[in-house]
Amino acid sequence: MGASFEDVVKATGKNFECEQSISGYYRLVCDGKIILDDSACEDVNGTEQEAKDFFAEYLLEYEVPEDKKEFRCGSFFLK
């Protein structure tokens, strides 16, 4: 199990949120701006926890500063 969505968001230093759309799928939002919105993605059409897990992996790879993460065994982890 990786870091929680909340821990990863804290590591970014930004205000990311997991928001449910009116259609029922989840999207990644930062300061009111939609960052990742893909209703065709299976990972955001399940439960809120599944969506948060998916977004945590996305944020670890693309938004967390290099000095706050490490890459091992093919995945990123918080230090």
pLDDT digits (tens, 9 = 90+) for 9-60: 999 999 999 999 999 999 999 999 999 998 888 889 999 999 999 999 999 9
CA angle 12, 31, 65 (to 5 degrees): 15
What is the reported pLDDT for 77?
Answer: 77
pTM for the full model?
A: 0.88
- Residue 3's pLDDT band, with cuts at 50, 70 and 90, is confident
- Residue 1's pLDDT band, with cuts at 50, 70 and 90, is low
Q: How many angstroms separate the CA atoms of 31 and 54, rounded?
A: 19
